[in-house]
Structure 1
Amino acid sequence: MAKIEFAWELGAHTGHVTTMLPVAAALKARGHEVRFLLREPHAAADLEGAAEIPREGAPIWSGPTINANPLNLGEILLNFGYHEAGPVKALIDAWREQLRASQAVIANVAPAAHLAARTLGIPSFEVSQGFHVPPPAMPAAPLRDWEPAPRARLEAADRRVLNSINQALAAFRGNPLTTIGDLFAGRSMLLTYPELDVYPERGPSDYYGITKSAEGKLVPDWPVGDGPRVFVYLYHYYKGLASLADALARQRCSTLALCRGVDSDIKGRHHGGSVYFAEEPMSVSRVLPQADIVICHASHQMTAQALLAGKPLLLLPTQLEQFLITRRVVRYGAGLGIAPEVNNPDYTSALTALAEGSEYASKAREFSDRYARHERGAALATMIARIEAALG
């Protein structure tokens, strides 16, 4: 049996771990030795099965931000140490040290882990919802298509990143990359759907869809309320949380809200009412079928789970990837979104529109029906087979 590392280098929050956990658990069950190397070592440690997998901190780079509003993946990478060959070489060295006794790497946004694997001659795979895996083109596709994205600026960013990477690879006599997308060529497993892919220009691709998700065990009773049942999954620091909870209460929505670290004042104000706040992870797969509406930040996993359950969405993105997913859902017609820069958002009107506008629920059910035959367990089995085939 093989020693397989699960790597996360860039990004934040639990979604990176929840994406990799089912794959890690399946490989562990088949007798492989697995380990998490995580940017946030304690992320998602409270999910079912997570405690059974050893975890350590991942090698990462810390430094000043070069692009406050990056236009493509190249500009994102410039913010994480890929602006010069020195930091890239240091990252590769650190990852090589972690991988020296390993036979494979499964990554979720860990470009340096892929580079280290290339220099060691071991297989690596990127398990991704697509945001960090652009189609192989020069330059990498723009992400903010509503803003001017001068081609010269995008090319300059990509060439700077590629120059840094290729100089670092030269120290190991590695073959140079010609585009940033080349880093993932033949290595990506796209756990998404064409309707949610933030690169619609990708064209025909091998989409796996999402696998079975890591989740909690809690299944609370729905509180008493005259309005629709609403499942909420938000960060405790979301600036509109108190106003949203008040809007849900005014409309008497029977609400189950998963919000780790929620402010005690907000939680206390709604104690015993129609809005119930939980901090312990819920069994989303059991709660979703009972809901009428889902409110979340447009993380890919939660958004896809809601659509597969046929539930319309109110999406409240807090960062770029979530905003891009929000745009895809809104364009598809299965929900509404409120951009993070909107002041005093009208949650009441959005909730009313979703509750009374049958077209949103209809489009969500259309998505659910389209992928009704998609067996998430089978997708996971296909991934495991591909990984094990690469082990030789």
Structure 2
Amino acid sequence: MSRILFAWELGANLGHLARDLPVAEELRKHGDDVLFAAKDLRVAEQVLTPAGFNFVQAPTTANAPRSSYAPANYSEMLIGAGFADVLGTLARVKAWAALCDLHRTEVLVINHAPTALLAARALGLPVVLTCIGFELPPAVSPLPSIRPWEGVPTERLQQADSVVLHTFNSVLDSFDQAPIVRVADLFADLPTVLTTFPELDHYGARSGALYVGPVSTLTNAVECPWPAGATRRIFAYLRPSVPGFEHMLAALRDTAATVLSVSPGISADDIKRLSSPRLKILPHPVALNATLQGVDLAVVYGTGTMADALLAGVPLLMVPQVIEQALAARRVEDLGAGTMWRPPRTAESAHAVLNDALSNSSLKHQANLFAKRYQGTAPETAARTIARIISDASLTG
């Protein structure tokens, strides 16, 4: 039996824990002791408690300085998460170290948790990285811009890297560990699994990387059959916080198709106000495997749903909310399997982009090609692969 700690520190959605859960279940089948350290305890309660897993609060910072501008690269993201503060970072690393000591952790599984990864390096603890492309910066210096549509000066990227590298090495020095040369070296030479596809990697396909496809499960997803006689179907997954949410729902309501919109967080009053005989709005997840069958278009904001739709051969109209989703949407556009709703997100532009997506047969063709390319992909196989790598790390650590 191995003692394994899953670490989640950055990001704020169900996806992080949902994609770790199948792996943890595989490990539990083999008798391993699994504990989760989660950033958001409410999400942990929603996902982990029904599955019977214990969790604790991940050591995070609550007072990182807010930047007046959007981060330009991964290092600027880390600065926004408190990595310009050496003392604060050292404190969080020590908290992770204490947590690992209390749990007697033998392998740390990193799911977007750079401070935990720094603690593992400081302690010499075996690590397995399991992440989507955005959470694994490429092995270059400086780390590239995450806003490629803007002309970000190289000097700005270098300065951000310099700040973060100084913090990393100050912490490592406190633990009598050798310094690293680049920010990207924190992630280097570790067992790594990318839970996406090369075509959807935010930084582009990486030579020699292990891509296993999505690994995700939501225990509260329910079946939602399409009504009989629905000849044209549109599936939407949009939160009310997505910019242009009501404009897009209005455009969907005006189409001649049958529309199912999953909108977590929507109020009962808004469901009543925005629904129509052809537009059904649900506040909870649905079982995507069944729901996506026979769908003509998926209108989504999240990267996990993008991949699920493409695996079902469904073209995409993408409505990204954050930079990670925008980068993924650009990759799908590069594939020719989807289109993005760009600002300004007005009522008029919602109708226009929706009509264009529905009438573009090329999007469906490219989505079908993607689905055929990865026809054998199965989340269960991916979960077993990751679990095996974690088990190997516990034996060699």
Shift of 1:254: 1.3
- TM-score w.r.t. the length of structure 1 is 0.93
Displacement of 1:227 after TM fit?
A: 6.2
Please give the per-residue CA displacement for 1:88-112, whole angstroms capped at 9, x wherever unaligned: 1011011111111111111211001
Cross-structure match for 1:278: 282
Matched, 1:321 2:324: yes
Structure 2 distance, partners of 1:167, 1:43, is 33
Deviation at 1:373, TM superposition (A): 2.6
2:292 alignment partner, one of 288, 298, 305: 288
Residue 172 (str. 1) matches residue 175 (str. 2): yes
Q: Is the alpha carbon distance of 1:300 and 1:271 closer, same or farther for their aligned partners in structure 2, counting shifts above 3 Å? A: closer
Pair 1:79-2:66 in alignment: no
- Is contact 2:142-2:158 (8 Å) kept? yes
Farther off after superposition, 268-277 or 30-39:
268-277
Deviation at 1:219, TM superposition (A): 1.3
Provide the secondary structure at the position in 1 that maps to 2:72: coil
Counterpart of 2:371 in 1: which secondary structure? helix
Runs of 4+ residues over 3 Å off in structure 1: 44-51, 201-204, 212-217, 223-227, 340-345
Map of 1:213 onto structure 2 = 217
**1:328: Cα distance to partner?**
0.9
One-letter amino acid matched to 1:174: Q
Amino acid at match of 2:372: D
Structure 2 unaligned spans of 5+: none
The percentage of aligned residue pairs carrying the same residue is 31
Instruction: Report if the CA contact (8 A) 1:105-1:117 is conserved.
Output: yes
Aligned AA (1:60) = T
What is aligned with 1:237?
Answer: 241
CA contact (8 A) 1:227 1:252 kept: no
Distance 2:42 2:24 in 1: 16
SS at match of 1:268: helix
Match of 2:120 in 1: 117
CA distance change for structure 1 residues 202 and 108 in 2, over 3 Å: closer, same or farther? same
Q: In the alignment, which of 145, 148, 171 is matched to residue 148 of structure 2?
A: 145
SS at match of 2:98: helix
Paired residue secondary structure (2:16):
helix
Partner of 1:129: 132
Is the contact made by 1:224 and 1:254 (CA closer than 8 Å) also made in structure 2?
A: no
SS at match of 1:80: helix
Within a 5 Å distance, the mapping from 1:1-392 to structure 2 comes to 1-43=1-43, 45-47=45-47, 50-62=50-62, 63-66=64-67, 68-100=69-101, 101-187=104-190, 188-200=192-204, 202-223=206-227, 228-271=232-275, 273-297=277-301, 299-339=302-342, 342-344=345-347, 346-392=349-395
C-alpha contact 2:24 2:387 (8 A) present in aligned 1: no
User: How far apart are 1:225 and its partner, in Å?
Assistant: 7.6
TM-superposed CA distance for 1:322, in Å, is 0.4
Give the alignment's TM-score, normalised by structure 2: 0.92
Which of the pair has the greater relative contact order for Cα pairs under 8 Å at 6+ separation?
Answer: 2
For 2:271, the aligned partner's letter is: K
Q: After TM superposition, give the deviation of residue 317 of structure 1 in Å.
A: 0.4
Distance 1:215 1:300, change over 3 A: farther
- Paired residues of 1:226 and 1:252 also in contact (CA < 8 A): no
Distance 1:341 1:126 in 2: 37
Structure 1: gaps spanning 5 or more residues? none
Query: Cα offset for 1:364?
Result: 0.3
Q: Secondary structure at 1:42's aligned position in 2?
A: helix
Q: Report deviation, 1:391.
A: 0.5
2:2·2:106 contact (CA, 8 Å) conserved in 1? yes
Tell me how many residue pairs correspond in the alignment: 391
Q: Is the 8 Å Cα contact of residues 323 and 339 (structure 1) preserved in structure 2?
A: no
8 Å CA contact 1:7–1:110 kept in 2: the answer is yes
How far did 1:323 drift? 0.4
Closer, same or farther: CA 103–65 of 1 in aligned 2, 3 Å:
same
| Change beyond 3 A, Cα 1:44–1:168 | closer
Deviations 1:162-183 (A, max 9, x none): 1111101111112222112211
Q: Distance in 1 between matches of 2:226 and 2:378?
A: 29
Deviation at 1:340, TM superposition (A): 5.3
| CA drift at 1:84 | 2.6
Deviation at 1:41, TM superposition (A): 1.0
Which segment drifts farther, 280-289 or 163-172? Answer: 280-289
1-structure distance, mates of 2:119, 2:105: 11
